[in-house]
Amino acid sequence: MLNIVYFAWVREGVGRDGEQVERPAPDATVADLVAMLAARGGGYAQVLGDPVKLRAAIDQRFVPLDTVIGAAGEVALFPPVTGG
């Protein structure tokens, strides 16, 4: 199983802090996972339907969406973060 954690408006849109899903194929990317989740419809489609608005981390390390998930234990999805 793969743990998924949602933050900020992504969490609000899907209606949960996180969940566990079946581990995707060994060569699946974060973008593939996002597409799979968005295909569920409802809040998932609304917040995950435009991946350009998302950022991700695998096992607490920021990664581009085209990163292969591999044997990771956790994927986090969140909006872009700004600092100041």
Domains in the chain with CATH codes: 2-78 (3.10.20.30)
Rounded to an integer, what distance in angstroms lies between the CA atom of residue 43 and that of residue 3? 19
Q: How far is CA 71 from the centre of its chain?
A: 15
For the cut 60, the answer to whether the pLDDT of residue 82 exceeds it is no
**DSSP H or E run through 75:** strand 74-78
Beta bridge partners of 58: 61, 75
Residue whose structure tokens are 């799979």? 36
Mean pLDDT of the chain: 94
Rounded to an integer, what distance in angstroms lies between the CA atom of residue 3 and that of residue 53? 21
pLDDT of residue 84: 53
Does the pTM surpass 0.95? The reply is: no
